Amino acid sequence: MLSALITATMCLVPTVTLKMSGRQFPVAAGETVLEAAQRAGVALPYSCRAGVCGSCKATLLEGRCEYPRNPPTALSASARAQHAVLLCQAVPVSDLLLEAREVTSVADFARRQLSVVVTDRWRLAPDVIGLRLLPVDGESRLNWLPGQYLDVLLEDGKRRPFSIANGPQADGIIELHVRHVAGGGFTSWVNDTLQIGDRLRIEGPLGTFVPREDSERPMLFMAGGTGFAPVKAIVEHFIALGTQRPMQVYWGARSASEIYLRPLAEGWAREVPNLQFHAVVSDPEQAGGLRCGLVHEAVLEDQPDLSGHDLYMSGPPAMIDAGNHLFLDAGLPESRLYYDSFEYAPDVLAQILGSRAGIHDLL
């Protein structure tokens, strides 16, 4: 009787099958498809993990799932009609058959926690701090792919994600670009208080915004604000490989001062024959002679037909959302659109809104 009960219980555990590879993995009660996949060592695409960016979109061929945590705001009505699901929020209530892309290149990099020390701190822009972190004595260096991110682990159990702005190095140095967010306690601490020699606890690598090397197509890179950090890491990776593929790098911001590593990017354009750099500023009064407009519109002005390109983009959700729609309309296949969407943690967003209402910032 006990064995029959165990067998019946096991049958209630949903199994996910990936059509392309045939790989299967079980999903525990209340677990999302993405969480179960990561536990099973299956690398599926994702970014924000909050259901708002759409990076983890897949097609549900068979089965049923629910969204008990967050509504899948990144799915339009037409996407739902075509059986699209968001893996970071979808909780199976039956066995599932999915058509989803696997990012096999990230599967070999184990996610882990480690302690790091701040070895350098400098101001990149009026509201952006650059940090270099090094594993403390006794910790092995973190391994990651260019474009991935890490979580800074706070003492209260909360996390803050930051893209890694460089590729892995022999000395283990990790570079971050941290924008000060009004109402964000951790970024205020980094901006005002953090010193060289301070220690942080981090977890990584995370994310699937990584170089795809199995292509000879021209590459477009579009960054918004500090979304330049992972784009920088990926571009430097391709430069180091000596790729002959044409590369166009677009960096958009509100003011010229926010294009905080412009000399670096302009240096790429001088030294790499197949690379061009475009700085785009949305506020004409702060353009400083740079091109004015929205960065995604600049991309489409220069490249109205995207059918022959691979496109990488990283930045705020509004930019990612606009690019998602307009670039696909310009002929870019969805399978060649890779992106990383920045999103506030829920508690930070609440603090920002509270601060605007007169509530003091919380550290």
Edge-to-edge order in the sheet of strand 15-18: 24-26, 15-18, 96-99, 57-62, 84-86
- Short-list 219, 210, 239, CA closest to 308: 219
Domains of the chain listed by start with CATH number:
12-102 (3.10.20.30), 112-208+346-356 (2.40.30.10), 219-341 (3.40.50.80)
| pLDDT at residue 6, rounded to an integer | 45
Q: What tens-digit pLDDT sequence spans the chain (363 residues)?
A: 444 444 444 457 899 999 878 889 999 998 999 999 888 888 888 877 877 777 788 999 999 999 998 888 878 888 888 898 999 999 999 999 999 877 767 777 889 999 999 999 999 999 999 999 999 999 999 999 999 999 999 988 899 999 999 999 889 999 999 999 887 789 999 999 999 999 999 999 999 999 998 899 999 999 999 999 999 999 999 999 999 999 999 999 999 999 999 999 999 999 999 999 999 999 999 999 999 999 999 999 999 999 999 999 999 988 998 998 999 999 999 999 999 876 555 454 444 444 433 323 322
Asked if residues 309 and 324 have their Cβ atoms less than 8 Å apart, the reply is: no
Say what the pTM is: 0.81
Asked if residues 149 and 203 have their Cβ atoms less than 8 Å apart, the reply is: no
DSSP secondary structure string, 287-299? -TTSEES-HHHHH
> 251 in helix, strand or coil?
strand
| pLDDT at residue 191, rounded to an integer | 94
| pLDDT at residue 26, rounded to an integer | 93
> Cα–Cα distance between 186 and 255 in angstroms, integer?
24
